[in-house]
A and B are shown apart, each in its own frame.
Chain A
Amino acid sequence: MQWEIRAGYKYTRKHEWVKQDGNIVTSGITDYAQDMLKDIVYVELPAVGREVKAGESYAVIESVKAVSDCYAPVDGVVIQVNEALLDRPELLNSDPYGAGWIARFEAVAGYEYPALMTDGEYETFVRQEEAG
C-alpha cells in the first residue's frame, strides 16, 4: 500500500489515528488523510482544558484547497496540544504519526471506548474507499 498504516495504533472511519495509554489518548490524522489533503497550511487547535464529546470537532486543518475538521476520539478533556503545528503545519504532511500528532485527551472515568479499527482493518477500509 502506498500509504503508511502504523501497527499499534487504532483507526477511525474519519481517517484519524488514536493511541491509547490507560485513560490518556493521543490523536492525529493518518498518512492517507494527509495525502488526500496535501499542502496543509494552517491548524486551529483547541484550548487545553476544553471538554469534548467523542465525535465532536475539536480542531480544524486547512490545506490549500480545503477545510477539514478533526473529531474527538473520546469523551474527556484536552490535556495537551501540539503547538509545533502552529508554526509548522507541514509536520502533518511529513510525519502524521509522529511529530504531526494533534492533541492528547484524558478520557472521563469509566468511558467505554467504541470499537475502532486495527491497522489491518483500516487498510481494508482505505482500499474500499479508493475503489470508490
Chain B
Amino acid sequence: MTEPKKKTPLYEKHLAHKGTMVDYSGWLLPVQFEGIIAEVRQTRQKAGIFDVSHMGEFMVEGSGAAEYLQKLVTNDIATLPDSAVRYSPVCYPHGGTVDDILIYRYNREQYLLVVNAANAAKDLAWFKENLGKDVVLADISSETAEIALQGPNSLSILSSLTNLPLDKLRYYHFIPAVELAGVKCLVSRTGYTGEDGFEIYCPAGGAPAVWEALWQAGRVRELGLTPAGLGARDILRLEAGLPLYGHELSETLTPLDAGLDRFVSFKKPVQFIGREALLQQKRAGTAKKLAGLIMLERGVIREGYAVTAGGQEIGWVSSGTYSPTFEKSLGMAYLDHELAVPGEAVEVIIRERAYPARVVKTPFYRRDKNAMGNSRGV
C-alpha cells in the first residue's frame, strides 16, 4: 500500500515557479526549477532558496534533557552553549548509524533536534525507546517548515527583512526568535552547501509569507536569488564533501567509517549508545576509508559503481555526480586504506568499462571567505 504523498506548506510556490516535482521520502518536492546546473552555479555565485520542510524536527525538554542527549548522540553537547548548533551522528549499540542530526540548544533544558526526512519515523521510535528520566520528547515536524537560504548574497537578502544584526550571527549559532514577514522564525547560520547561508524554521502556516518575502527581496538582479531544488542541494553538499545518510552513513556504516571521528567524543564522561563498538572499531581500524574521487575523462561517477586499481576491486562509490562547479564528475567512495590517498590513480567501472579517476582530498569545494564565490580544492 502506498501512502499519499505529503506536501510541504510551500508546494504551491514550487508549482508557481514551474518546479519539477518528485517523490522524496514520501514528500512531493521540487528536484529542479530552471535546471540543476544553473541552480548550483547561482547558489555558489549569488544565492539559492530551498524548501527543506521535509526535514524532521523534535523538541527535547526537561531537567533530564542534557543527560538524555549526551547518552543518545556521539558528539559532546556538554560544551554546547545556548543559541548554538552542533552536528552529531546517532548510533546503535553496534556502532551503525541511526541518523546524523543537528542539535540546537535554547538552554540547558530545551533543545531542538533536526533529523533527516527519510529517518524521521525511525528516529522518533529510537529516541522514545531510549528516553531518559525527566525528559519530554515532542515531534513538531508537521507544524514546522524549514527554508534554507544559501549563497554569498544570503546575508544581504535576509538582512533586508529584519533589523537584527545578522552579520554578527556566527556560523553554527542561531537566534531563536526573528520576525520575518510578520512570522516568528528561528534563524541559524547553517547549511548544507558549503556556502555562507541561513536555515530558517517557522510555523508551517507562516512559511509561504516568509518564502515570498525572501523571494521578493532576493530576486532583484544584484542579489540574483534562484529557487533551487533537491538536485542542486545534493550536488552542492557533495561538492562541499558533506555526508548524506543512506550514502556515506547507514545502519551498517559507522561515523568512523565515514571519517567523522571529530564528531564522536570518546572523551565525554558518558557511556553514549554505540561507544563500546565504536571504540573497538577505532582500535581495530575501519575496513575501508571514505575518499574523494574525480574523473579524468568524460563519464559520470554514480552511486554503487565499483572502483578498481590495476584491475583489482578496491571499493565502491557512495555518492557521485556531475559537478557544475568543476565541470567534471566527482564522487565519494569507500576504498581500501592504502589506496584512499590523495593522488592515487584508480578506475571507476562504468558500464563494464574502466574509466581513469584520481583520489583527491575532500571537500572538493571550499568557499574563499575573502573573495566569495571563488572555488579552491580540486
* A residues apposed to B, CB below 8 Å: 38-39, 41-42, 44, 60, 62, 64-65, 67, 86
Which residues of B209-258 have CB atoms within 8 Å of chain A's CB atoms?
231, 235
Please report the C-alpha to C-alpha distance between residue A65 and residue B233 in the assembled complex, in whole angstroms.
Answer: 12
- Tell me how many residues of B have a C-beta within 8 Å of chain A: 17
Contact in complex: A41, B300 (CB < 8 Å): yes
Q: How many A-B pairs with Cβ below 8 Å? A: 36
Q: Which residues of B contact A44 (CB under 8 A)?
A: 299, 351
Please report the C-alpha to C-alpha distance between residue A130 and residue B302 in the assembled complex, in whole angstroms.
Answer: 28
Q: Which of A41, A60, A65, A86 contacts B351 (CB under 8 A)?
A: A60
Contact in complex: B37, A39 (CB < 8 Å): yes
Q: Which residues of B contact A65 (CB under 8 A)?
A: 31, 36, 231
Q: Which residues of A contact B37 (CB under 8 A)?
A: 39, 41, 64
Contact in complex: B32, A42 (CB < 8 Å): no
Contact status of A41 and B35, CB under 8 A, knowing A60-B351, A62-B299, A64-B231 = no
Contact in complex: B322, A67 (CB < 8 Å): no
Given contacts A39-B37, A64-B322, 7 further A-B contacts (CB under 8 A): A41-B37, A42-B329, A62-B299, A62-B300, A64-B36, A67-B300, A86-B298
Residue of B nearest to A86 (CB): B298
B321 within 8 A of A: yes
Contact in complex: A62, B322 (CB < 8 Å): yes
Q: Tell me the smallest distance from the CB of B319 to a CB of chain A, in Å.
A: 13
Contact in complex: B322, A41 (CB < 8 Å): yes
Q: Which residues of B contact A39 (CB under 8 A)?
A: 35-37, 322
Contact in complex: B302, A42 (CB < 8 Å): no
Chain B positions 24 through 51: 1 when the CB is less than 8 Å from some CB of chain A, otherwise 0: 0000000110011100000000000000
Q: Which residues of A contact B35 (CB under 8 A)?
A: 38-39
Which residues of B294-324 have CB atoms within 8 Å of chain A's CB atoms?
298-300, 302, 321-322, 324
